[in-house]
Amino acid sequence: MARPQSASRAVQALLIVALLALLGLLVTTTRAHLEERGIRSGFDFLFEPAGFSLGESVLPFDAGDTTLRAFVAGLLNTLRVALSGAALALGLGILLGFGRLADNPLVRGLAGTAVNAIRNVPLLLHLLAWYFILTDLLPAADAPLQLAPGVFLSKSGLALPWWGDNGFEIPELAGFGIDGGASLTPEYLALLFGLTIYGAAYIAETLRGAVLALPEGQRTAALALGMTPRQTFLLVLLPQAWRAALPPTTSQLLNLFKNSSLAVAIGYPDLMAVAGTSLNQSGRAIECLSIVIAVYLLLSLLGAAVSHRLEKRSLRGGPA
């Protein structure tokens, strides 16, 4: 058994060496062609002033900061919407999955109609539709919809109570706008709503399929013990179905991260938008695209590692 394993490892090592050699040849050839045409190359532009600003950023940023800081700000904006969207999509997906399995035909029909309608419309159209609703159909900031005390929704976005420089602040109408608290822009909300609803529809179908694959006796026994349909789903069926649903669910959440790159279509300054602007400013197309590819590849590998760990923990039925 040792010889086949050694041969296999030798072949893998040769493949890795060949790929690295091919990559090195590609980099060397590309750099030579760029030098022949007088085109600057390299990543030195990352330490030069960006020359552009961002509409919104978790990290304070202005045009005088470095391009590297702009990429970091774009990445944080991507994580800000992707992590929130993943958590909301998972919760909403579980609710829709429960609705798809409900005994009430009206609830089951409404949930099924919603899931099928969402899944059959491209994500980009979802984002554009939400952006249109938030920027064209809502009232102006001087006459916003008040959803709750201190919570206002308008074309300017969603104003929420939040901690500010003077402590906990509650938004209030003041003149032609809203003062105090925190504000979520229409671009962020459109992207968040689109990613959440689209991802939740696929997660709901994944959970429904996993639950239906369980023996019917599981549900019957739980109902016979006096459990409600909701308790049966959450306490009996969902924990068992989760093992089978975990790989496709985590795959869908990883897709949500990658789909956040469509933010450029509605003007949200995510990593992809920053890369596009930096490309136009510096002319370093290969470098900017390489950064984006590397970041998304790293995020996907991290997500896959977490998914693999959760799968192993689920199969063992104990802590990892």
pLDDT, residue 47, reads 94
| Measured distance CA(141)–CA(157) in Å, rounded | 8
pLDDT, residue 35, reads 65
Q: Is there a contact between 127 and 194 (Cβ–Cβ < 8 Å)? A: yes
Query: pLDDT class for 115, splitting at 50, 70, 90?
Result: very high
Whether the pLDDT of residue 311 is over 90: the answer is: no
Q: Which of 223, 282, 266 is nearest to 103 (CA)?
A: 223
When comparing pLDDT for 277 and 10, which is higher?
A: 277
pLDDT, mean of residues 124-144: 93
Query: pLDDT class for 276, splitting at 50, 70, 90?
Result: very high
Query: pLDDT class for 319, splitting at 50, 70, 90?
Result: very low
Q: Is there a contact between 72 and 47 (Cβ–Cβ < 8 Å)? A: no
What are 5's two structure tokens?
A: 């394993």
Radius of gyration of the chain (CA): 25
* pLDDT tens string 230-248: 888 888 888 888 888 888 9
Domains of the chain: 67-136+185-316 (1.10.3720.10)
| Measured distance CA(57)–CA(236) in Å, rounded | 43
* pLDDT tens string 165-223: 778 888 888 877 888 888 999 999 999 999 999 999 999 999 999 988 888 888 888 88
pTM: 0.83
- Tell me the β-bridge partners of 179: 172
Whether the pLDDT of residue 105 is over 80: the answer is: yes
pLDDT, mean of residues 52-61: 91
Q: Which of 154, 149, 141 is nearest to 170 (CA)?
A: 149
pLDDT, mean of residues 293-319: 80
Query: pLDDT class for 1, splitting at 50, 70, 90?
Result: very low
What is the chain's mean pLDDT, rounded?
A: 87
Sign of the CA dihedral running 189, 192, 195, 199: negative
Cβ neighbours of residue 82 under 8 Å, at least 6 residues apart? Answer: 195, 256, 257, 260
pLDDT, mean of residues 99-126: 93
